[in-house]
Homo-oligomer: A and B are copies of this chain.
Amino acid sequence: MQVIRSIKEMQQMAKELHREGNRIGYVPTMGFLHEGHLTLINEAKKNNDKVVISIFVNPLQFGPNEDFDAYPRDIERDETLANNAGVDFIFYPEVGEMYPVDLSTKINVTKRVNVLCGKSREGHFDGVATVLMKLFNIIMPDRAYFGLKDAQQVAVVDGLINDYNIPVELVAVGTVREEDGLAKSSRNVYLTEQERSVAPELYRSLQKAVQRILDGEKNLDQVKTEVINAVHEKTSGIIDYVEIYSYPDLVELNEPNGKMIIALAVKFSKARLIDNITFSI
């Protein structure tokens, strides 16, 4: 495994890999790797000749109230984990390498953002789109891997790739879950024992909602209310949102139609959990 810190070197390596006929699988990360990242890396290993991950805590996607400096970093641990997972290259640039001068342009994500978690994170996805546009040009992947746990991010990246004909295949990887169905998250450790025991109810209530729609329920407000009631009855969590949208457009629906997402965010005493299911009728 090789760690590359310079953009130019990474681009030259990417070109060389392509010239040699390699397919490049790419997993963008902000480091502090967890099981979710490793799942993406494993998927990338399956279908590509070389796997590149980037480790870059991108200042542009942090809001004024989100602490860029406090974001956890541990490059040595990350290198060990990546190496063990079979990663071929880590692209690990400094902030000054990625943003040496003020940008002369801005990418503004205008659709798919003012819903779900994006509603309360103004500008977040502009920062995500900007850094990904750069990283795609630097790493030149054939396929890029994103987790469906953050389905809104997948939708925004899908829009970005389509808008600019970026020659990369977006691979959306299903959420990894504990045995009882709870979506894996580094935040789960902040749950109390009692909260943890009932937390799988989030996923169960989403599954039930999907089944209700597949069974023919047309009233989406009714379905959402049922999810809200189930979560409130069976957990101490406070609902932040329960929403059903078209996917990946993330547009409100009058009734079930085509590909959809049902997503929720629930606040517990010390952790805010999110989960979602994408499905089609």
Contacts and interface: CB of A to CB of B under 8 A. Distances in A.
Contacts of A134: 163-165
Contact of A163 (B19, B105, B162): B105
A106 B108 contact: yes
Interface string A86-126: 00000000000000011111111111100000000000000
A82 interface: no
Interface in A1-39: 7, 11, 15, 18-19, 21
A213 interface: no
Nearest to A11: B167
Is chain A's interface secondary structure helix, strand, loop, or mixed overall? mixed
Contacts of A164: 105, 133-134, 137
A151 interface: no
Q: Which of A21, A103, A138, A162 has the most CB of B within 10 A?
A: A103
Contacts of A110: 103-106
Q: Which of A105, A108, A160 has the most CB of B within 10 A?
A: A105
Q: Copy number in this complex?
A: 2
Contacts of A165: 7, 11, 134, 137-138
Contacts of A129: 105
Interface residues of A, number: 33
A140 interface: yes
Interface string A215-258: 00000000000000000000000000000000000000000000
A166 interface: yes
A103 B19 CA distance: 32
Contacts of A104: 109-112, 156, 159-160, 162-163
Q: Which of A104, A109, A129 has the most CB of B within 10 A?
A: A104
Contacts of A105: 107-111, 129, 159-160, 163-164
7 contacts: A104-B112, A104-B160, A105-B107, A105-B108, A133-B164, A134-B165, A137-B164
Interface of A: 7, 11, 15, 18-19, 21, 101-112, 129, 133-134, 137-138, 140, 156, 159-160, 162-167
Given A104-B160, A105-B107, A107-B107, 14 more contacts: A7-B165, A11-B165, A101-B162, A103-B159, A103-B163, A105-B109, A105-B111, A105-B163, A105-B164, A106-B107, A134-B163, A134-B165, A137-B164, A137-B165
